[in-house]
Amino acid sequence: MRKVGLIGCGHVGATVALDIVQGGFADELVLIDKDERVAQAEALDLLDALPLLPYHVKVYAGEYKDLADADIVLSTLGHIDLIKPGGDRFTELKANLPEIRAVAEALNAINFSGILIATTNPNDVIVNVYSKLLKLPKSRILGTGTYLDTARMKAQVGRALNIDSRSVEGYVLGEHGNSQFTAWSTVRIAGQAFAKIASEKQLDLDDLEEKARQGGFAVFNTKHYTNVAIAAATVALMNLVFSDAKNVAICSHYDENFDSYISTPALIGKEGVEGEIQLDLTAEEEAKLAASVAEIQQKIKLFS
């Protein structure tokens, strides 16, 4: 029995719930929102869709007590409406913090012992706060972090080379925010270093990196929210846990090397983060990663 709790039924939460139900990725899905009517409406909408779908999922609007035996809780709450075009995810922090504290208190009250995956922004700061508040090992608290930014980088590289983006390997490291960077030394196509390919084809690495960094805002500036790609990232990370994949994936997690939540590759399985992956980065990339950690820690101090 795969039981998932989803907290926050806005654009992202609703899309995550739809992905889970359409893919049959859970047996039981509990929806919670600070406005109970919204959770009830989303549950009803999904229930109406079930006769048209190939999988059965038990879906309902619930209460925190219903999450006591949940395997995974997804924190998809947020206040994206506070962000202005060209803005910063950090804008959401002041509004999100009280709700994060309330969620943590409610989960502690029911002795939740599963795994928490957060999309809430600013993601690295939020998972750090969750780790301080929740009665869970750090390894069981994850954020989507640069999992999505890495996908955006792969999409940009794929388009530049006119190949399937799934053929691209490599990582965007650091903060899910302005200090993130593409570690080009890790990016490969069929075993070949992409930096060499880019040089031969006269591709602009800085331009590709910036397009990946601004990918979310390219969508947000018109739609005024993002939902599809971040929902896909959330569900993909959730499925790595459910399948005990032992898969190397990048996400925001507690990295002992930096004593901080930061996006670096980790081994993901049924216990959450089950191991660290050491990358052979260039000196410049090491410096960028350290600077990104410092940026996250500075933001944490502002609200600690």
* The one catalytic residue among 11, 56, 79, 176: 176
The whole-angstrom separation of Cα 119 and Cα 176 is 10
The whole-angstrom separation of Cα 204 and Cα 51 is 49
Q: What is the dihedral of CA 127, 128, 131, 132, to 10 degrees?
A: -140
CB < 8 Å & 24+ apart, contacts of 159-166: 160/198, 160/201, 160/203, 160/208, 161/189, 161/197, 161/201, 163/189
Beta bridge partners of 261: 254
In this structure, are strands 260-269 and 272-276 parallel, antiparallel, or unpaired? antiparallel
| Look-up of token digits 């080379």 | 161
The whole-angstrom separation of Cα 100 and Cα 116 is 12
176 is catalytic: yes
Q: How far apart, in Å, are the Cα atoms of 17 and each of 26, 65, 90, 227?
A: 10, 19, 25, 11
Q: List the catalytic residues.
A: 176
